[in-house]
């Protein structure tokens, strides 16, 4: 084990701001230091340090038994993570890109998610990796995968929007006794506006609790991930029209913090849901239904959504920009709602 | 052959006789919706007995797969537990939330089969990885139908186990979905992964036992997984090997004729007791379906099929003050 720490895990120790990616690295490092049962598995995460260098230097420090370079077989090593979790270990599985989680869909939904219910015990596994578009990655390196798993009881899904949340939520996910899908928008990894000083103590953010990213009284925007930042930009534009927007950052999609959404809608009477995932079968539909069940009496307008269009993520920059929800889209929908 | 052959033979005789309950169970129509065949194969019992058993969660682990319950009995399961599983009783180990073979008891070393062929090789590879990481004298045993080798999932699990030199013993049952698998088929696969292979067919019990025991010993020594192909037995008479084994145990392994009779009587009484108990036990309660799917309580939606809204239901309170903000 080497004594020199990789630079991406020392920002907070040195009192310096950390990027979103460094926050992820710090969370992994600290949890591995804290709990010897935690180990990492994934493609090229060892000597190569992972596709985005999150785990650069981890192999030297923690050794091969805890930093496992896997074959390119997402189903196989996710299944193996289940076995290791049965035996009391706490595997953190990295998908090089979350688009590649689909080969592991079977074992995640049929075996891992059902384990506790079947009486086979809890399986504390985190499956984490980069998601999202805007990087010209095309259809196979840009997807958001949350809704492929959202309807599977037994799973949790986390999708942070800030560096502090990324660190705190990932630490919580690793400590959680349930399987957690942890999505990291690659557009936030090194984004300058996401660089921030992280709490120096053992920073843990509970799963299942949304946060109010901006307070307002005229319109609620419920969103998560990169779209939190787009929504805040839109809110700033709308503020020039004297529209006070409340932005709810879900942080955790499953379990969904329904109470936070309802409370905000009871205050504003208007709800706009913004997500980068495609429209049909997106989480907006579920949120709208829950508001229909619990806060119909408080609504002063239709529930609207701004999402990606229903297509694969296109490769061309021009096409992808059209595909993704923009600040202008959010502003347009927001204006429509407040004037409804 | 390690250990006391006679004592081990007694155990296998008992397991075999216990295993016979399933045929009776199915033939009696009690498992009306179970509807799936259960393998009565002496060889799996003998093989499973070659592993190290424990009831404290410190022994080997086994996934019996489609060959349940034989290997499960060898790992300490009882006929009553398995009958409860098949009968969907709330008293079943999986509390009727999962089926006959989907039954996990880590203390006794049982991992239930869930997922398509190949899945359990992946899972048991991870179990074995954990053993290796901790330097434990433990190994994992998984039974798969040979057809699993036609799935990518099985190869991913096998490849992972081989790459990690995980202490895993994989038994491939060529009696099921074997295609043209025969002598040498497992060798060809094993060569690809650089692991040891063996083929068993109608060997006597000690040789079956020794084959798995050797594979286990190599595995816990850090020499990686092994593949064992189990070629089809005599399909015309599934009891032939059973009867032959009992005869062998009686005539050659030193289990006396009287002892065999005593074991048969005890096993028969145990099975009768299980059936008697099973008949008296109620089906699972409907509310048992509502156990949490996570380790903490998961709130149910406000309206469910169990608590429908009253006719004329309205929200109980009007918005206060901020309804017309503009």
Chain B contact for A208 (CB, 8 A cutoff) = no
| Chain B residue closest in CA terms to A257 | B299
Least confident of B72-81, B139-148, B302-311: B302-311
| Chain B residue closest in CA terms to A122 | B295
Chain A contact for B95 (CB, 8 A cutoff) = yes
For residue B169, the enclosing domain spans: 5-280
* Count of the separate structural domains present in chain B: 1
**Site of tokens 């689909």:** A102
Has residue B263 been placed in a domain? yes
Has residue B289 been placed in a domain? no
Contact A59, A6 (CB under 8 A): no
Has residue B19 been placed in a domain? yes
Has residue B176 been placed in a domain? yes
| Chain A residue closest in CA terms to B326 | A218
Q: Which residues of A are catalytic?
A: 141
**Which pair of tokens denotes residue B262?**
């005593």
| Chain A residue closest in CA terms to B132 | A65
Chain A contact for B128 (CB, 8 A cutoff) = yes
Has residue B10 been placed in a domain? yes
What's the pLDDT at B311? 62
Residues of B in contact with A65 (CB under 8 A): 133
CA distance B11 to B205: 12
Confidence of residue A155 (pLDDT cuts 50, 70, 90): very high
For chain A, list the domains and their CATH numbers: 8-194 (3.40.50.970), 211-338 (3.40.50.920)
Supply φ then ψ for residue A163, to 5 degrees.
-65, -45
CA distance A297 to A312: 37
Contacts of A76 (CB under 8 A, 6+ apart): A70, B122, B125, B153, B155, B156, B157, B159, B160
B140/A84 Cβ within 8 A = no
Residues of B in contact with A89 (CB under 8 A): 130, 133
**pLDDT at residue B27 is higher than 60:** no
Q: CATH no. for residue B13?
A: 3.40.50.970
Has residue B96 been placed in a domain? yes
Mean of pLDDT over chain B: 79
Measured in whole angstroms, the distance separating CA B193 from the mean position of its chain's CA atoms is: 25
Chain A contact for B301 (CB, 8 A cutoff) = yes
**Which pair of tokens denotes residue A338?**
């407040």
Task: Using CB atoms, pick whichever of B98, B116, B122 lies closest to residue A76.
Answer: B122
Cα atoms in the Cβ-side hemisphere of radius 13 Å centred on B132: 29
Mean pLDDT to the nearest integer, B248-264: 78
Has residue B298 been placed in a domain? no
How large is the angle between the packed helices B5-19 and B205-218, nearest 10 degrees? Answer: 100
Residues of B in contact with A84 (CB under 8 A): 126-127, 129-130, 133
Mean pLDDT to the nearest integer, A57-68: 97
Confidence of residue B87 (pLDDT cuts 50, 70, 90): confident
B128/A79 Cβ within 8 A = no
Least confident of A37-41, A282-286, B186-190, B267-271: B267-271
What's the pLDDT at B138? 98
Contact A81, A41 (CB under 8 A): yes
Mean pLDDT to the nearest integer, A46-66: 96
CA distance B6 to B218: 25
Residue A234 vs residue B201, higher pLDDT: A234
What's the pLDDT at B24? 54
What's the pLDDT at B322? 33
Cross-sheet strand order for the sheet of A38-42: A67-69, A38-42, A90-94, A126-131, A180-185, A156-158, A252-254
Min CA distance, A219 vs chain B (Å)?
10
Residue B67 vs residue A129, higher pLDDT: A129
Least confident of A25-29, B121-125, B225-229, B317-321: B317-321
Residues B41-53: tens digit of each pLDDT: 778 888 998 999 9
Contact B227, B197 (CB under 8 A): yes
Residues of B in contact with A300 (CB under 8 A): 323-324
Min CA distance, A169 vs chain B (Å)?
17
Has residue B53 been placed in a domain? yes
What count of CB pairs under 8 Å joins A to B? 176
Mean pLDDT to the nearest integer, A259-286: 97
């Amino acid at each position: 084990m080497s004594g020199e720490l990789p630079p991406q895990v020392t920002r907070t120790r040195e009192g310096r701001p950390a990027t979103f990616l460094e926050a992820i690295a710090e969370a992994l490092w600290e949890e591995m230091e804290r709990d010897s049962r935690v180990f990492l598995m994934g493609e090229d995460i060892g000597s190569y340090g992972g596709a985005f260098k999150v785990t650069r230097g981890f192999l030297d420090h923690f050794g091969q038994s805890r930093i496992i370079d896997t074959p390119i077989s997402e189903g196989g090593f996710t299944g193996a993570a289940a076995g290791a979790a049965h035996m009391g270990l706490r595997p953190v599985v990295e998908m090089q890109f979350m688009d590649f989680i689909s080969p592991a869909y079977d074992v995640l939904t049929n075996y891992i998610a059902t384990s506790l219910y079947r009486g086979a015990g809890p399986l504390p596994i985190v499956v984490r990796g980069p998601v999202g578009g805007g990087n010209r990655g095309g259809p196979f390196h840009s997807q958001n995968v949350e809704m492929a798993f959202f309807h599977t009881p037994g799973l949790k899904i986390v999708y942070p929007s800030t560096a502090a949340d990324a660190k705190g939520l990932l630490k919580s996910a690793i400590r959680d006794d349930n399987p957690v899908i942890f999505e990291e928008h690659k557009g936030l990894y090194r984004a300058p506006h996401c660089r921030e000083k992280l709490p120096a103590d053992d920073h843990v953010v509970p799963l299942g609790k949304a946060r109010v990213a901006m307070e307002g009284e005229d319109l609620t925007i419920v969103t998560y991930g990169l779209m939190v930042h787009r929504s805040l930009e839109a809110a700033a534009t709308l503020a020039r029209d004297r529209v006070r927007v409340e932005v709810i950052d879900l942080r955790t999609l499953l379990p969904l913090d329904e109470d936070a959404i309802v409370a905000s809608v009871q205050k504003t009477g208007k709800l706009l849901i913004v997500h980068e995932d495609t429209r049909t079968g997106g989480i907006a539909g579920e949120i709208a239904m829950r508001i229909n069940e619990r806060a119909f009496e408080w609504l002063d307008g239709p529930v609207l959504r701004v999402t990606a269009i229903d297509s694969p993520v296109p490769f061309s920059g021009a096409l992808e920009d059209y595909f993704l929800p923009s600040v202008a889209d959010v502003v347009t929908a927001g204006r429509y709602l407040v004037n409804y | 052959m390690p250990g006391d052959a006679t004592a081990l033979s007694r155990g296998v005789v008992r397991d075999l006789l216990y295993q016979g309950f399933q045929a009776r169970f199915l033939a009696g129509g009690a498992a009306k919706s179970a509807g799936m065949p259960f393998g009565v194969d002496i060889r799996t019992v003998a093989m499973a007995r070659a592993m190290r058993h424990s009831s404290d969660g410190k022994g080997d682990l086994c996934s019996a797969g489609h060959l349940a319950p034989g290997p499960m009995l060898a790992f300490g399961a009882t006929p009553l537990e398995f009958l409860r599983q098949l009968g969907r009783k709330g008293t079943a180990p999986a509390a009727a939330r999962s089926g006959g073979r989907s039954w996990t008891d880590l203390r006794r070393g049982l991992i239930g089969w869930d997922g398509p062929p190949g899945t359990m090789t992946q899972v048991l590879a991870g179990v074995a990885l954990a053993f290796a990481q901790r330097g434990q004298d433990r190994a994992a045993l998984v039974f798969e139908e040979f057809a699993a080798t036609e799935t990518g999932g099985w190869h991913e699990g096998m490849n992972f186990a081989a790459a990690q030199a995980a202490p895993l013993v994989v038994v491939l049952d060529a009696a099921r979905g074997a295609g043209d698998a025969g002598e040498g088929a497992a060798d060809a696969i094993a060569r690809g992964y650089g692991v040891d292979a063996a083929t068993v067919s109608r060997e006597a019990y000690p040789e079956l036992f020794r084959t798995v025991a050797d594979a286990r010993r190599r595995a816990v020594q850090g020499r990686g997984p092994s593949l064992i192909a189990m070629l089809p037995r005599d399909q015309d008479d599934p009891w032939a090997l059973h009867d032959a084994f009992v005869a062998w145990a009686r005539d050659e392994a030193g289990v006396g004729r009287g002892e065999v009779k005593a074991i048969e009587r005890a096993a028969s009484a145990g099975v009768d007791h299980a059936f008697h108990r099973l008949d008296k036990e109620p089906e699972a309660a409907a509310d048992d379906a509502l156990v949490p799917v996570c380790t903490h309580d998961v709130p149910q939606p406000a309206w469910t099929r169990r608590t429908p809204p009253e006719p004329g239901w309205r929200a109980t309170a009007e918005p206060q003050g901020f309804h017309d903000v503009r």
